[in-house]
Structure 1
Amino acid sequence: MDSFKTHDAYSPAKLGPITLPNRTIKAATSEGRSPDGKVTQALIDFHRGFIEGGTGMTTLAYCAISPEGFAAPGEILMIRDNIPGLRQFTKAMHDAGGLASAQLGHAGPVANKNITGVRPVAPSRFANPTSFQICREISKKEINEIIIQFADAAEVAADSGFDAVELHFGHLYLVSSFLSPWINKRKDEYGGSIENRTRLAKEILLAVKDRVKDRLAIIIKLSMSDGIKGSIWLDESTETARILDETGAVDAFELTMGSSVYKQMYLFRGDTDIDGLAQTQKGIFRLGVKLFGKQMLGVYPYEHLYMLKSARQFQLIIKNAQLILLGGINDAVHIQRAMEEGFGFVALGRALLREPDLINRLKNNNQGQGFCIHCNKCMFSVYQTTNCVFTQDYATSSKEAI
Structure 2
Amino acid sequence: MSDVLAPARLGPLTLRNRVIKAATFEGRTPQALVTDELVQFHREVAAGGVGMTTVAYCAVSPGGRTDRHQIWMREEAVPGLRELTAAVHAEGAAVSAQLGHAGPVANAKSNRSPALAPSRMFNPLGMRFTKVPDARALAEVVADHARAARLARESGFDAVEVHLGHNYLASAFLSPMLNRRKDDYGGALRNRARLARDVVRAVREAVGDTMAVTAKLTMEDGVRGGFSIEESLQVARWLQDDGAIDALELTAGSSLLNPMAIFRGDAPRKSFGRALPIPVRWGFQLVGKQFLREYPYRPAYLLDKARRFRAELTLPLISLGGITDLATAEQARAEGFDFVAMGRALLREPDLIRRWSTEPTVASLCTHCNECVPSIYTKTHCVLRTS
Asked whether the two chains share a fold, i.e. TM above 0.5, the reply is yes
SS at match of 2:196: helix
Shift of 1:21: 0.6
5 Å-filtered alignment, 1:312-327, equals 312-319=307-314, 321-327=315-321
**Aligned residue for 1:364?**
358
Q: Where in structure 1 are there 5+ consecutive unaligned residues? A: 1-6, 394-402
**Aligned residue for 1:341?**
335
SS at match of 1:77: coil
Q: Does 1:390 align with 2:384?
A: yes
Shift of 1:296: 1.7
Please give the alpha-carbon distance, in whole angstroms, between the structure 2 residues aligned to 1:272 and 1:342. 31
What are the superposed Cα offsets for residues 48-78 of structure 1, whole Å, 9 maximum, x if unpaired? Answer: 1111011110000000101001113532111
Contact 1:50 1:357 survives alignment (8 Å): yes
5 Å-filtered alignment, 1:3-402, equals 8-128=3-123, 133-319=128-314, 321-392=315-386
Of all paired residues, the percent bearing the same amino acid is 47
Please give the alpha-carbon distance, in whole angstroms, between the structure 2 residues aligned to 1:243 and 1:271. 35
SS at match of 1:9: helix
Shift of 1:248: 1.1
SS at match of 2:363: coil
Shift of 1:144: 0.5
Q: In the alignment, residue 350 of structure 1 is paired with which amino acid?
A: R
Please give the alpha-carbon distance, in whole angstroms, between the structure 2 residues aligned to 1:181 and 1:268. 23
SS at match of 2:308: helix
Q: In the alignment, residue 156 of structure 1 is paired with which amino acid?
A: L
Q: In the alignment, residue 60 of structure 1 is paired with which amino acid?
A: V
Contact 1:130 1:262 survives alignment (8 Å): no
What are the superposed Cα offsets for residues 206-259 of structure 1, whole Å, 9 maximum, x if unpaired? Answer: 111111001100000000011111111110000000001101111000100011
Shift of 1:300: 1.4
**Aligned residue for 1:4?**
none
Shift of 1:295: 1.3
Q: 1:21 to 1:280 in 2, by over 3 A?
A: same
Please give the alpha-carbon distance, in whole angstroms, between the structure 2 residues aligned to 1:283 and 1:61. 26
Contact 1:253 1:324 survives alignment (8 Å): yes
Q: Normalising by structure 1, report the TM-score.
A: 0.93
Contact 1:58 1:100 survives alignment (8 Å): yes
For this pair of structures, how many residues does the alignment match? 387
SS at match of 2:275: coil
Q: In the alignment, residue 164 of structure 2 is paired with which amino acid?
A: F
Please give the alpha-carbon distance, in whole angstroms, between the structure 2 residues aligned to 1:84 and 1:197. 37
Contact 2:324 2:364 survives alignment (8 Å): yes
Shift of 1:177: 0.4
Please give the alpha-carbon distance, in whole angstroms, between the structure 2 residues aligned to 1:285 and 1:162. 36
Q: In the alignment, residue 62 of structure 1 is paired with which amino acid?
A: Y
What are the superposed Cα offsets for residues 346-396 of structure 1, whole Å, 9 maximum, x if unpaired? Answer: 000000000000111122222221100010000011111111012257xxx
Please give the alpha-carbon distance, in whole angstroms, between the structure 1 residues aligned to 2:279 and 2:138. 35
More deviation in 292-301 or 13-22? 292-301
Q: In the alignment, residue 263 of structure 1 is paired with which amino acid?
A: N
Please give the alpha-carbon distance, in whole angstroms, between the structure 2 residues aligned to 1:119 and 1:199. 22
Q: Where in structure 2 are there 5+ consecutive unaligned residues? A: none
What are the superposed Cα offsets for residues 130-170 of structure 1, whole Å, 9 maximum, x if unpaired? Answer: 76542121111110100000000000011111010000000
Q: In the alignment, residue 17 of structure 1 is paired with which amino acid?
A: P
Q: 1:267 to 1:101 in 2, by over 3 A?
A: same
Please give the alpha-carbon distance, in whole angstroms, between the structure 1 residues aligned to 2:82 and 2:210. 15
Contact 2:62 2:113 survives alignment (8 Å): no
Q: 1:121 to 1:284 in 2, by over 3 A?
A: closer
Q: In the alignment, residue 195 of structure 1 is paired with which amino acid?
A: R
Q: Normalising by structure 2, report the TM-score.
A: 0.97
Contact 1:83 1:156 survives alignment (8 Å): yes
Please give the alpha-carbon distance, in whole angstroms, between the structure 2 residues aligned to 1:92 and 1:392. 24
What are the superposed Cα offsets for residues 143-202 of structure 1, whole Å, 9 maximum, x if unpaired? Answer: 010000000000001111101000000000000001000011111111111111111111
Q: Which has the higher contact order (CA 8 A, sep 6+)?
A: 1
SS at match of 1:121: coil
SS at match of 2:298: coil
Contact 1:218 1:250 survives alignment (8 Å): yes
Please give the alpha-carbon distance, in whole angstroms, between the structure 1 residues aligned to 2:386 and 2:128. 35
